[in-house]
Amino acid sequence: MPSDASFDVVSKVDPQELDNALNQARKEIAGRFDFKNSIASIESDATTITVLADDELKMKNVVDIIQSKAVRRGIDLKALDVSVEPEPASGSTFRKKIPIRAGIPKDKSKLLIEAIKASKLKVQAQYQDEQIRVSAKSKDDLQKVIQLLKELNFELPLQFVNYR
């Protein structure tokens, strides 16, 4: 008698890859001519990236550099919420705090679970600990659920882990 197969749907960013991308962005900014004699810095912690720049144009350029380096390191841009507007900081500088999206919030998980249930596949989906566990008797059904979720183009980056 085969047991249920399952996988977890998660939304996370590899912190080491993000750190590598930010370090590459810092190096590029240090070497670029248009950033000479200007303030442009990137700081980060586990939940946000803080960018400091002289003006909004330099801010936009720094954010573009961060995004290009993140893509090269395999980080989905949906994980970085760059829609936040820059705010004035000390002096004539601007600060932008870019939240790093990790985990699937309960309200967003409901949309995913409803989409899975609407597919009429014989699978069970349940929300637990900022992730969704999907289980079924058939591995083929699980593959169909993964394909369905990939096609949704959800606002968070989704990864499929612990496939058993």
Q: Are residues 81 and 152 in the same domain?
A: no
Predicted local distance difference test score (pLDDT) of residue 26:
94
What pLDDT does 56 receive? 87
89 and 120 within one domain: no
pLDDT at 138: 86
138 and 63 belong to one structural domain: no
Residue 3 pLDDT: 64
Helix (H, G, I), strand (E, B) or coil at 157: coil
- Could you tell me the pTM of the whole model? 0.84
CATH at residue 61: 3.30.70.990
Statement to judge: residues 56 and 90 lie in one domain: yes
Contact partners, residue 37, CB within 8 Å, separation at least 6: none
142-161 b/e (C-beta count within 10 Å ≥ 16 → b) = bebbbeebeeeebebbbebe
| 39/75 same-domain check | yes
Q: Supply the DSSP string of 30-91, one letter for each residue.
A: HH-GGGTTS-EEEEE-SSEEEEEESSHHHHHHHHHHHHHHHHHTT--GGGB-TTSPPEE-ST
Domains held by the chain: number: 2
Q: What is the per-residue pLDDT for 64?
A: 95
- pLDDT tens for each residue of 118-132: 988 899 999 988 899
* Structure confidence at residue 18 (pLDDT): 94
Residue 152 pLDDT: 87
pLDDT at 2: 52
Same domain, 52 and 95: yes
Q: Which stretches of the chain drop beneath a pLDDT of 70?
A: 1-3
Q: Are 124 and 74 contained in the same domain?
A: no
Look at residue 43 in the predicted model and tell me its pLDDT: 94
Find tokens 């882990």 and name the residue. Answer: 161
Which pLDDT score, from 0 to 100, does residue 162 have?
Answer: 87
Q: Which of 83, 99, 115 is the last residue of a domain?
A: 99
Sheet holding 131-136, edge to edge: 123-128, 131-136, 5-10, 159-161
Which residues form the domain of 41?
15-99
